[in-house]
Amino acid sequence: MARFDLLPQAHSSGTNQAARLIPCAACNVRELSICDALRGPEIDRIAEIVSRISIPAGRTVFQEGDEADYVYNIISGALRLFKLMPDGRRQITGFLFPSDFVGIALKARYAYSAESVCDMIVCRFPRHKLEALFADFPALETRLLETAGNELIAAQDQMLLLGRKTAAERLASFILRLLERASARGAKTEAIELPMTRTDMGDYLGLTVETVSRTFTKLRQNGLIATPNPHEVEILDPGGLERMAGGG
């Protein structure tokens, strides 16, 4: 299992230059991210400790049990967080998209692994340096607590999904949730992008690839969605999809 490495030096210094050229002040996800807790010149204190890093698709960013030296903010692309059982069963605990923050659980070690779903750009913060900013900027900690609360609520929704929903309800809920998040980020919402594979979706929804695939077919046959290609869904009938998602 290849660990995540910085890009080759030439490329890496390229992205570091990019970071200087496009500082936090011009960040396209700032007002959605935790950095929004900082105002005006305060943002420079964040800028001092951050590295903007490109990560190609399919890379391990960190693994469960690693020293949690860094936390991340997603700028573009998507990340999957997951836990593995010794026999290889995998549960994806979340997909992260631009403006999402990785590492709320500020423990000594990561409680899950993280891999890039596609090419992506992240902001990386040394954890202890970010924590050191809490003293000067309590709003940052408040913001993090707020984010943690949102994550907990999402986690509870996911427990309901995994514990009590049928395959069709799970997939419908998943699509609607992605739709919400896409619209919160200001992305287009007629069609939404699914950067992850069917296997990823299955491991997120507690299903197998085959069941995910069959359920896509079912939703398509019911006229709720269209899938022009495997990584794109069009929402044809939002109301019907809501009904299919089962409420709760």
- Where does this chain bind a second copy (CB under 8 A)? 81, 83-87, 89-91, 93, 104-107, 111-112, 134-135, 138, 141-142, 144-146, 148-153, 155-160, 162-165, 203-206, 246-248
Kindly tell me which of 6 and 104 has the beta carbon lying closer to a second copy. 104
Tokens of 212: 């995910």
Collapsed DSSP state (helix, strand, coil) of residue 149: helix
Kindly tell me which of 64 and 119 has the beta carbon lying closer to a second copy. 64
* Residue 87 binding: pick among DNA, a second copy, none (C-beta 5-8 Å cut-off by kind): a second copy
How many angstroms separate the CA atoms of 219 and 45, rounded?
A: 48
Alpha helix ranges (H) inside 198-237: 198-205, 209-221
Kindly tell me which of 82 and 216 has the beta carbon lying closer to a second copy. 82
Residue 58 Cβ vs a second copy, minimum distance, rounded to whole Å:
22
How many angstroms separate the CA atoms of 211 and 118, rounded?
A: 23
Alpha carbon separation from 194 to 41, 219, 221, 233, 246 (Å, rounded):
37, 16, 19, 7, 22
Residue 149 Cβ vs a second copy, minimum distance, rounded to whole Å:
4
Q: For the chain, give the longest Cα–Cα distance.
A: 56
Segment contacting DNA (CB under 7 A): 18-26, 102-110, 113-121, 166-174?
Answer: 166-174
Query: Running DSSP on this structure, what letter comes out for residue 226?
Result: E
CA geometry: angle at 92 spanning 218 and 33, to 5°?
Answer: 105
* Residue 80 binding: pick among DNA, a second copy, none (C-beta 5-8 Å cut-off by kind): none
Alpha-carbon radius of gyration of the chain: 19
How many residues sit in the footprint of DNA (CB under 7 A)?
20
Residue 169 Cβ vs DNA, minimum distance, rounded to whole Å:
8
Contact between residue 29 and residue 96 where contact means Cβ atoms under 8 Å apart? no
Look at the block and give the residue holding tokens 């739709």: 179
Residue 222 Cβ vs DNA, minimum distance, rounded to whole Å:
13
Annotate each residue in 179-218 with x if it binds DNA (CB under 7 A) or - if it does not, as one string: ------------------xxx------xxxxxxxxx-xx-
* Residue 63 binding: pick among DNA, a second copy, none (C-beta 5-8 Å cut-off by kind): none
Asked whether position 166 contacts DNA by CB under 7 A, the answer is: yes
Contact between residue 82 and residue 24 where contact means Cβ atoms under 8 Å apart? no
Asked whether position 230 contacts DNA by CB under 7 A, the answer is: yes
Report the 10 Å Cβ neighbour count for 238: 14
Which residues here bind DNA, judged by CB under 7 A? 166-168, 197-199, 206-214, 216-217, 227, 230-231
